[in-house]
C-alpha cells in the first residue's frame, strides 16, 4: 500500500470521526436550545405600553385548603370593578398601571431548568392546573395582564425566591416549560382593601357635631320604638354634652367619646356583600325601607316572597324585617342598634350594625366559605347574635376559625337644621301714624303749603321752648320727628335685608351641596352592605355607662386651697360703745369729754336764768360730737 492511499484512508477516518462526534454531541444534548437562546431576552417583547392593560388577574394557591384563589380587576362600562368580589368598584387604575409597568422589560435570567418535571421543585406549577396528576404542592402565583377583549399581553408564573439572590425568583412564561432565574421588582396585592376606597365614610372628625346612639325594639302594640342617647357640640373645640346627664354627679367620658370619633374618621372597609335584589334592582331603599315593584303591594304572594328572601339573607346577620300592618310598609332594622353621626354641613351618616362572625380573609372579604365540603353551598360562617355578649366558648371558637368582624349597613341623609348659620329675616319697621309712605315704603314729603304750616308750627314750638327755658333751668324736651325716625329705621332695615338676601343665597348653596353629597354617598352605599372589624364596632357601639362617668370628689384640702383663706368681716361697733384702747393709740384720751358737772357749773356762772333740768349747750355739743365721731381704734379695724 503506497503512502497516498494511507493518507487518504486517514483523512476519511478523521472526517467520519468528526461527523460521528458531532452527531453524538447533538443527539445527547437538549432536545431544544430555545431556552438557552432566550437568556437575556424580555418575557413580553410586544408589551411596551402600560396603559394597554385593561384587566389584571392574580391567582394564588392555598395548599392547606387545596384551592386556588383568583383576584380580578377589570374595566367594565367605564368603571374599574372587582368581579371576584361581587363587581365592587375598585380604585385600581393607578395600581394596575404600576403593576403593568413593573412587568415591562422583565428579562429571562439564567436557565434553572428546561423540563416540566422541575416545576414543583422551583414552585412554578400553574395554580389553575386542574390536571389530576398535577402536584398540589409547588404551585406558584400567576399574574396575567389583559387588554380590552380579554387577550393576554403578559402571563407570568412566579415561584420561589432564588436562594442567596435577593430579589431574584424562579419564573416561567405560562405557555413555556423552561424556568429562569429572573430579577423582579413587583408589588402585587390580592388584598381586597388595597384595591378599594377603604375609608368607608370619608368624613372629617372635626366636622362631627352630633352623635346619636339608637336602640330599636318592637313594642307590644306592634310598633317600632327607638331609645336614643344624644351627644352634641357646637364646634369641634367645644366639649361634648349628653342629653339627660346629671351635671351635679356625672360628666361625659371624654376618652371613650374621642375614640368613637377617631374610629368614625378612619372606619375601614374589610369586606363587602351585595344587598338583596329583585330584577337587578336592590329591594332596599336608601332609608332601608323595602321597595316593592309596582302593583306588588296588593299581591300577597309576591310580598311574602320578597320578605322571605330578605329574612333568609339578613336575619341571621342581625337585621330584622318589620311589617307595619296599618300602613303595609316594611322596614329593615338592626337588632344591634344604630349610630347616627351628623356633621356641620348637614349630612347625617346612619350606621346600622349587624351580628358578629368570624372567618378567613376570603370569608370576610366576599362571604364565600373556604372550608366548605364538596356539595355544600358557599355561605358565611359562624354568625353570632349581636344583642348577647359572646360566651367564653364562642370566643375561643372564634379565635380558632379566624378574625372577628361585624356586618354593617350605611346610608346618608341631609338635614338643613344642622347648619349653624341659617339666616333670620329682619323685621320691617312699622309706619308711624301721620307719616305718609309710597308703595316702596319710602316717606312721602308733604306739599309746599303743608311744609309752610309745618315750619310755622315748628317755629312756634321752638319759641315756646326758648321761653320755657328762660323761665326755668331745665332743658326743653325735644320731640322726635316720627318721619325721620322711620327713615333711619328703614335705612337700617334695608341694609339688613340686603345682607339677609345674600346670606339666603349662600345658605341655599350649602343646602344644595349637602343634598348632593348625601346623594353621592347613597349612590356609593346603595347596592352594598359591609363588613368592619369587631374592634371598631366595640368603640362605636357605646352604651350610657360608657358615655358617662361619675364626677370625682374633691378632697377637703383641695377645696380649701381653691377657695383661698377665709377673711372674717369686722364686727360692727355700736356708736356709743367705747372701744378698748390699744398700745400707742392716744386718740381716745385726746378726745375724752369733760365731766358734765364741770359744764353745769360753768353754765350756772354765766347763765343764771337757765333752768336746772335743761342741758347746757356745751354739753349737748360734746355729746353730739361724741356720738358722731368714730374712735380711732375702729378706723384701724
The tens digit of pLDDT for each residue in 580-608 reads 444 444 444 444 444 444 444 444 444 44
**Predicted confidence band at 280 (pLDDT cuts at 50, 70, 90)?**
confident
pLDDT the model gives residue 67: 86
pLDDT the model gives residue 611: 42
Q: Are 14 and 70 members of one domain?
A: no
Q: Are 42 and 166 members of one domain?
A: yes
Residue 456, C-alpha cell as written in the block:
310755622
Chosen domain end from 507, 525, 560: 560
**To the nearest 10°, the Cα dihedral for 177, 182, 185, 188?**
20
pLDDT the model gives residue 268: 92
pLDDT the model gives residue 23: 61
Residue 578, C-alpha cell as written in the block:
367705747
pLDDT the model gives residue 621: 45
Q: Are 115 and 238 members of one domain?
A: no
pLDDT the model gives residue 205: 93
Q: Is there a domain that residue 493 lies in?
A: yes
pLDDT the model gives residue 450: 54
Distance, CA of 122 to CA of 110 (rounded, Å):
14
Asked if 179 contacts 103 with a C-beta cutoff of 8 angstroms, the reply is no
Higher pLDDT, 1 or 521: 521
By three-state DSSP, how is residue 280 classified? coil
pLDDT the model gives residue 591: 46
Q: Are 14 and 44 members of one domain?
A: no
Inform me whether the pLDDT recorded for 228 exceeds 80.
yes
Distance, CA of 273 to CA of 525 (rounded, Å):
11
**Predicted confidence band at 6 (pLDDT cuts at 50, 70, 90)?**
low
Please state which of the ranges 185-189, 489-493, 560-564, 580-584 shows the lowest mean pLDDT.
Answer: 580-584
Higher pLDDT, 292 or 625: 292
How many structural domains comprise the chain? 4
For residue range 486-499, list pLDDT tens digits in order: 888 889 999 999 99
Q: Is there a domain that residue 568 lies in?
A: no
Residue 177, C-alpha cell as written in the block:
416549560
Q: Is there a domain that residue 388 lies in?
A: no
Q: Which residues of 243-267 are buried (b: 16+ CB within 10 A; e: fewer)?
A: eebeeeebebbeeebebbbebbbeb
Asked if 536 contacts 268 with a C-beta cutoff of 8 angstroms, the reply is yes
Domain membership of residue 5 as a residue range: 1-29
Residue 332, C-alpha cell as written in the block:
329593615
Q: Are 538 and 413 members of one domain?
A: yes
Distance, CA of 152 to CA of 433 (rounded, Å):
90
Q: Are 158 and 262 members of one domain?
A: no
Which residues, 6 or more positions from 49, have their beta carbon under 8 angstroms from its beta carbon? none
User: For the chain, how big is the Rg over CA atoms in Å?
Assistant: 48
Please state which of the ranges 40-44, 158-162, 325-329, 490-494 shows the lowest mean pLDDT.
Answer: 325-329
Distance, CA of 10 to CA of 194 (rounded, Å):
75
Q: Is there a domain that residue 304 lies in?
A: no
Inform me whether the pLDDT recorded for 556 exceeds 60.
no
For residue range 417-431, list pLDDT tens digits in order: 999 788 999 998 888
Inform me whether the pLDDT recorded for 571 exceeds 80.
no
**Predicted confidence band at 577 (pLDDT cuts at 50, 70, 90)?**
very low
Q: Is there a domain that residue 575 lies in?
A: no
Cα angle 564, 569, 571 (rounded to 5 degrees) comes to 160
Chosen domain end from 161, 176, 195: 195
DSSP 123-169: T-B-TT---TTS-SSSB-EEEEEE-TTS-EEEEEEEEEEPTT-TTEE
For residue range 26-42, list pLDDT tens digits in order: 555 555 555 678 888 99
Inform me whether the pLDDT recorded for 623 exceeds 70.
no
Asked if 143 contacts 58 with a C-beta cutoff of 8 angstroms, the reply is yes
Asked if 368 contacts 337 with a C-beta cutoff of 8 angstroms, the reply is no
Inform me whether the pLDDT recorded for 396 exceeds 60.
no
Q: Are 442 and 513 members of one domain?
A: yes
For residue range 293-315, list pLDDT tens digits in order: 777 767 778 888 888 888 888 99
- Comparing CA positions, the residue from 338, 328, 335, 337 lying closest to residue 307 is 328
pLDDT the model gives residue 140: 95
pLDDT the model gives residue 388: 40
For residue range 533-548, list pLDDT tens digits in order: 999 999 998 888 889 9
Asked if 369 contacts 236 with a C-beta cutoff of 8 angstroms, the reply is no
Chosen domain end from 195, 224, 242: 195
- Comparing CA positions, the residue from 517, 326, 338, 494 lying closest to residue 419 is 517
Question: What percent of the chain is predicted at pLDDT more than 70?
Answer: 70
Q: Is there a domain that residue 395 lies in?
A: no
| Chain mean pLDDT for the chain | 78
Distance, CA of 141 to CA of 156 (rounded, Å):
8
Distance, CA of 457 to CA of 372 (rounded, Å):
106
Instruction: Name the packing angle between helices 596-606 and 617-628 (round to 10°).
Output: 150
Q: Is 208 exposed, middle or buried (0-12, 13-18, 19+ CB in 10 A)?
A: buried
Residue 312, C-alpha cell as written in the block:
333568609
For residue range 76-105, list pLDDT tens digits in order: 888 889 988 888 998 877 888 889 999 999
**Predicted confidence band at 291 (pLDDT cuts at 50, 70, 90)?**
confident
Checking DSSP bridges between strand 330-334 and strand 277-278, what pairing results, if any? Answer: unpaired
Asked if 180 contacts 112 with a C-beta cutoff of 8 angstroms, the reply is yes
Distance, CA of 404 to CA of 19 (rounded, Å):
73
Asked if 71 contacts 99 with a C-beta cutoff of 8 angstroms, the reply is no
Full strand arrangement of the beta sheet holding 208-218: 241-242, 224-232, 208-218, 338-343, 347-359, 403-414, 528-533, 271-274
| DSSP H or E run through 458 | helix 448-471
**Predicted confidence band at 12 (pLDDT cuts at 50, 70, 90)?**
low
Q: Are 417 and 524 members of one domain?
A: yes
Q: Is there a domain that residue 186 lies in?
A: yes
Inform me whether the pLDDT recorded for 69 exceeds 50.
yes
Asked if 322 contacts 330 with a C-beta cutoff of 8 angstroms, the reply is yes
For residue range 333-380, list pLDDT tens digits in order: 998 999 999 999 999 999 999 999 998 888 899 886 544 433 333 344
pLDDT the model gives residue 463: 59
CA distances from 519 to 106, 169, 353 (A): 46, 48, 21
Distance, CA of 240 to CA of 548 (rounded, Å):
11
pLDDT the model gives residue 573: 47
Q: Are 109 and 189 members of one domain?
A: yes
Q: Are 135 and 220 members of one domain?
A: no
pLDDT the model gives residue 610: 44
Q: Are 600 and 459 members of one domain?
A: no
Q: Is there a domain that residue 363 lies in?
A: no
**Predicted confidence band at 390 (pLDDT cuts at 50, 70, 90)?**
very low
Q: Are 59 and 175 members of one domain?
A: yes
Give the residue-averaged pLDDT of 450-477.
56
Asked if 120 contacts 135 with a C-beta cutoff of 8 angstroms, the reply is yes
Amino acid at each position: 500500500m503506497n503512502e497516498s492511499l494511507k493518507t487518504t484512508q486517514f483523512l476519511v477516518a478523521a472526517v467520519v470521526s468528526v461527523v460521528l462526534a458531532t452527531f453524538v454531541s447533538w443527539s445527547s444534548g437538549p432536545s431544544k436550545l430555545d431556552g438557552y437562546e432566550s437568556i437575556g431576552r424580555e418575557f413580553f417583547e410586544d408589551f411596551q405600553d402600560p396603559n394597554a392593560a385593561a384587566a389584571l388577574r392574580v391567582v394564588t394557591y392555598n395548599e392547606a385548603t387545596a384551592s386556588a384563589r383568583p383576584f380580578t380587576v377589570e374595566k367594565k362600562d367605564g368603571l374599574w370593578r372587582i368581579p371576584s368580589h361581587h363587581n365592587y368598584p375598585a380604585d385600581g387604575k393607578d395600581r394596575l398601571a404600576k403593576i403593568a409597568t413593573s412587568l415591562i422589560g422583565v428579562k429571562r435570567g439564567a436557565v434553572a431548568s428546561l423540563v416540566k418535571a422541575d416545576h414543583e421543585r422551583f414552585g412554578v406549577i400553574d395554580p389553575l392546573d386542574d390536571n389530576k396528576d398535577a402536584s398540589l404542592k409547588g404551585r406558584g402565583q400567576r399574574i396575567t395582564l389583559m387588554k380590552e377583549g380579554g387577550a393576554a399581553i403578559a402571563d407570568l408564573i412566579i415561584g420561589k425566591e432564588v436562594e442567596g439572590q435577593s430579589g431574584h425568583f424562579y419564573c416561567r412564561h405560562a405557555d413555556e416549560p423552561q424556568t429562569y432565574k429572573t430579577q423582579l421588582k413587583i408589588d402585587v396585592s390580592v388584598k381586597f382593601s388595597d384595591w378599594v376606597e377603604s375609608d368607608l365614610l370619608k368624613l372629617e372628625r372635626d366636622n362631627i357635631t352630633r352623635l346619636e346612639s339608637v336602640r330599636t325594639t318592637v313594642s307590644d302594640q306592634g310598633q317600632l320604638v327607638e331609645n336614643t342617647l344624644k351627644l352634641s357640640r357646637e364646634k369641634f373645640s367645644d366639649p361634648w354634652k349628653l342629653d339627660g346627664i346629671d351635671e351635679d354627679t356625672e360628666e361625659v367620658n371624654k376618652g371613650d367619646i374621642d375614640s368613637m370619633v377617631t374610629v368614625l374618621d378612619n372606619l375601614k372597609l374589610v369586606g363587602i356583600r351585595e344587598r338583596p335584589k329583585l330584577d337587578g334592582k336592590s329591594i332596599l331603599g336608601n332609608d332601608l325601607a323595602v321597595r316593592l315593584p309596582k302593583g306588588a303591594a296588593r299581591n300577597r304572594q309576591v310580598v311574602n316572597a320578597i320578605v322571605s328572601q330578605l329574612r333568609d339573607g339578613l336575619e341571621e346577620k342581625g337585621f330584622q324585617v318589620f311589617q307595619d300592618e296599618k300602613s303595609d310598609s316594611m322596614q329593615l332594622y338592626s337588632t344591634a342598634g344604630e349610630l347616627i353621626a351628623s356633621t356641620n354641613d348637614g349630612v347625617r351618616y346612619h350606621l346600622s350594625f349587624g351580628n358578629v362572625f368570624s372567618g378567613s380573609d376570603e370569608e370576610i372579604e366576599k362571604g364565600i366559605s373556604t372550608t366548605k365540603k364538596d356539595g355544600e353551598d358557599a355561605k358565611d360562617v359562624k354568625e353570632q347574635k349581636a344583642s348577647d355578649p359572646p360566651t367564653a366558648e364562642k370566643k375561643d371558637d372564634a379565635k380558632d376559625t379566624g378574625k372577628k368582624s361585624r356586618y354593617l349597613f350605611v346610608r346618608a341623609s341631609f338635614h338643613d337644621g344642622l347648619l349653624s348659620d341659617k339666616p333670620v329675616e329682619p323685621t320691617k319697621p312699622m309706619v308711624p301714624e301721620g307719616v305718609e309712605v309710597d308703595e316702596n315704603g319710602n316717606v312721602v314729603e308733604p306739599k309746599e303749603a303743608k311744609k309752610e304750616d309745618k315750619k310755622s308750627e315748628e317755629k312756634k314750638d321752638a319759641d315756646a321752648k326758648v321761653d320755657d327755658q328762660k323761665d326755668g333751668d331745665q332743658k326743653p324736651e325735644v320731640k322726635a320727628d316720627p318721619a325721620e325716625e322711620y327713615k333711619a329705621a328703614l335705612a337700617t332695615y334695608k341694609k339688613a335685608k340686603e345682607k339677609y338676601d345674600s346670606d339666603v343665597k349662600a345658605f341655599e348653596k350649602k343646602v344644595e351641596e349637602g343634598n348632593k353629597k348625601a346623594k353621592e354617598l347613597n349612590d356609593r352605599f346603595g347596592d352594598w352592605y359591609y363588613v368592619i372589624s369587631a374592634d371598631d364596632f366595640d368603640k362605636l357601639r357605646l352604651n350610657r355607662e360608657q358615655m358617662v362617668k361619675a364626677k370625682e370628689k374633691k378632697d377637703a384640702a383641695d377645696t380649701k386651697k381653691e377657695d383661698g383663706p377665709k377673711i372674717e368681716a369686722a364686727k360692727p361697733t355700736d356708736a356709743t360703745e367705747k372701744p378698748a384702747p390699744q398700745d400707742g393709740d392716744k386718740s381716745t384720751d385726746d378726745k375724752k369729754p369733760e365731766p358734765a358737772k364741770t359744764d353745769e357749773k360753768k353754765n350756772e356762772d354765766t347763765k343764771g336764768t337757765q333752768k336746772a333740768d335743761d342741758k347746757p349747750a356745751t354739753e349737748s355739743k360734746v355729746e353730739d360730737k361724741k356720738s358722731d365721731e368714730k374712735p380711732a381704734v375702729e378706723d384701724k379695724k
